[in-house]
């Protein structure tokens, strides 16, 4: 049987029950619209929340951890090294915090093709002297340009210019710390290091990450400024931060490179395991809700086609009596289902995109996220592709079973009954 005739008959049947056809197409359209809008919105929020951690967190961090020496003198003694030695209250060894030969390590890491970039860092504990009160805090010495390139540092500087940090004796205060000290841009604040060195720093900006505890204690200065604060040489580095091209390689590379350089290494998956789990669960929930909507619309199409077949039994009998085979009838009703799925799916993708644009314009302002002004939406094409394919699959199976029922109709019994 020619496909043109099958399409013509399918069109005639749909127009004969136009209201039911429109209801079925509207159900598919609504499901696809909500599927695309929901996934775009949920994954936009996921990306926003991930960014709060991932943008600021190195994929691998190299440092020297303060810990007791695992090789105690009694264990090295020839007399007792084979014995069970119980040692209590072991104190940390006087190991250096600075990474030995840090410049050579950084150069070697930058030559590794698996690594996107490397940024050195110094974390210095200080007391901010505010009148007669000392507020504890951490001043992070950073390579300003590297930090902006690899960790989106400038996106979190809400007031002032991040490049001003390259000047000596300047500081960008965490917003919470600045509020506690009532420090304005251009003010001079005084800080005392744990070694007793007292320095004066000019406030050139505010930093706001969206994590209140972090912003209450953390501030930023250039590496050279922090080295001078601590009275250390220009080679003094306590942390080496690494960004990879593929952060999924972080656990393997952290172990490999840590053994090569004989320093401690943390990878992002281990440090933020609970955060990654939360992201996966939120994504799973959004997909589950979206697919449920599509399945529900599929049952709607199934019911409508079942009713259409019941009401058109005489038409089906006449078609079969005039030479249409069961396969032809099957094709007619599957074609009806697919046309409903294609029309409803296309309209759903369009309205889903428009719904995303509408959500993207809704104001969303909070002090915790000063750089975000509207609700985030992810316009990844894969959501539209998944929605389109799933609408076809759902409508095909919704039409397959009624079509199989129609193809089995005995025209003699139907005409005899009439």
Give buried/exposed letters for 396-418 (b at 16+ CB in 10 A, else e).
bebbbebbebbbebebeebeeee
**pTM for this one?**
0.66
Following DSSP, what letter does each residue of 270-318 receive, concatenated? HHTHHHHHHHHHHHHHHHHHHHHHHHHHHHHHHHHHHHHHHHTHHHHHH
Per-residue pLDDT at 265 = 87
Per-residue pLDDT at 92 = 60
Q: Which of 22, 35, 32 is nearest to 336 (CA)?
A: 22
Per-residue pLDDT at 136 = 87
How do strand 157-160 and strand 170-174 relate by DSSP bridges? unpaired
Q: Exposed, middle or buried by CB within 10 Å (0-12, 13-18, 19+), for 18?
A: exposed
- How far is it, in rounded angstroms, from Cα 15 to Cα 9? 10
Are residues 142 and 220 in contact, defined by beta-carbon separation less than 8 angstroms?
A: yes
Q: Domain coordinates of the chain in residue numbers?
A: 3-54+275-417, 60-79+95-270
Model pLDDT for residues 45-96, shown as the tens digit of each residue: 777 777 666 777 888 899 887 666 666 666 667 766 677 767 766 666 555 6
Give buried/exposed letters for 217-238 (b at 16+ CB in 10 A, else e).
bbbbbbbbbbbbbbebeeebbb
Number of Cβ atoms within 10 Å of the Cβ of 47? 15
Number of Cβ atoms within 10 Å of the Cβ of 175? 22
The residues, any chain, with a CB within 8 Å of residue 267's CB and separated by 6 or more, are 59, 60, 250, 251, 253, 254
Per-residue pLDDT at 162 = 84
Per-residue pLDDT at 171 = 92
3-state percent helix, strand, coil for the chain, nearest multiple of 5: 55, 20, 25
Per-residue pLDDT at 276 = 65
Per-residue pLDDT at 232 = 86
Per-residue pLDDT at 220 = 92
Q: In 81-204, which ranges are continuous DSSP H helix? A: 102-110, 144-151, 175-181
Per-residue pLDDT at 95 = 59
Per-residue pLDDT at 354 = 92
Per-residue pLDDT at 263 = 87
Expressed in angstroms, the distance from the first to the final Cα of the chain is: 27
How do strand 239-244 and strand 157-160 relate by DSSP bridges? unpaired
Following DSSP, what letter does each residue of 92-116 receive, concatenated? BP---SSPTTHHHHHHHHHT-TTEE
Per-residue pLDDT at 274 = 64
- How far is it, in rounded angstroms, from Cα 19 to Cα 14? 9
- How far is it, in rounded angstroms, from Cα 40 to Cα 62? 36
Per-residue pLDDT at 351 = 92
Cross-strand partners of 202: 170, 188
List, run by run, the mean pLDDT of 10-residue segments along the chain (418 residues): 75 78 81 85 79 77 75 68 70 69 88 90 87 84 87 83 86 88 88 86 86 83 89 87 86 88 84 69 77 74 70 70 76 82 88 90 72 82 86 80 72 59
Per-residue pLDDT at 273 = 66
């Amino acid at each position: 049987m020619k496909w043109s005739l099958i399409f013509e008959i399918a069109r005639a049947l749909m127009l004969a029950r136009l209201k039911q056809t429109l209801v079925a197409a509207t159900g598919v359209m609504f499901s696809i619209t909500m599927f695309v809008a929901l996934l775009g919105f949920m994954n936009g929020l996921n990306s926003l929340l991930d960014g709060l951690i991932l943008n600021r967190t190195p994929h691998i961090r190299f440092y020297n951890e303060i810990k007791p020496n695992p090789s105690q003198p009694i264990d090295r003694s020839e007399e007792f090294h084979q014995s069970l030695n119980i040692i209590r209250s072991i104190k940390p060894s006087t190991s250096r915090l600075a990474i030995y030969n840090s410049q050579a390590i950084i150069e070697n890491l930058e030559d590794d093709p698996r690594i996107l970039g490397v940024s050195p860092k110094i974390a210095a504990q200080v007391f901010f002297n505010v009148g007669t009160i000392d507020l504890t805090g951490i001043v992070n010495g950073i390579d300003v340009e590297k930090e902006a390139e690899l960790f989106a540092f400038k996106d979190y500087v809400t007031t002032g210019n991040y490049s001003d940090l390259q000047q000596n004796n300047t500081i960008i205060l965490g917003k919470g710390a600045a509020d506690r000290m009532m420090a304005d841009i251009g003010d001079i604040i005084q800080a005392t290091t744990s070694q007793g060195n007292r320095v004066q720093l000019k406030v050139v900006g505010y930093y706001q990450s969206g994590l209140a505890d972090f912003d209450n204690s953390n501030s930023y200065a250039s590496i050279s400024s922090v080295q001078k604060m601590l009275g250390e040489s220009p080679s003094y580095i306590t942390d080496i931060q690494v960004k990879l091209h593929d952060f999924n390689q972080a656990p393997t590379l952290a172990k490999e490179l840590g053994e090569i350089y004989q320093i401690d290494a943390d990878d992002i998956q281990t440090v933020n395991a609970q955060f990654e789990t939360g992201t996966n669960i939120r994504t799973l929930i959004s997909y589950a809700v979206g697919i449920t909507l599509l399945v529900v619309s599929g049952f709607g199409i199934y019911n409508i086609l079942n009713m259409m077949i019941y009401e058109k039994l005489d038409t089906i009998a006449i078609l079969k009596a005039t030479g249409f085979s069961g396969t032809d009838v099957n094709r007619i009703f599957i074609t009806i289902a697919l046309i409903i799925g294609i029309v409803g799916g296309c309209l759903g993708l369009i309205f889903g995109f428009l719904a995303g644009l509408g959500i993207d314009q809704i104001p969303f302002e909070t002090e915790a996220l000063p750089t975000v002004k509207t609700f985030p939406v992810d316009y990844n094409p894969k959501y539209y592709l998944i929605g389109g394919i799933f609408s076809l699959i759902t409508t095909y199976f919704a039409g397959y079973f009624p079509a199989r029922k129609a193809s089995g109709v005995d025209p003699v019994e139907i005409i005899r009954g009439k």
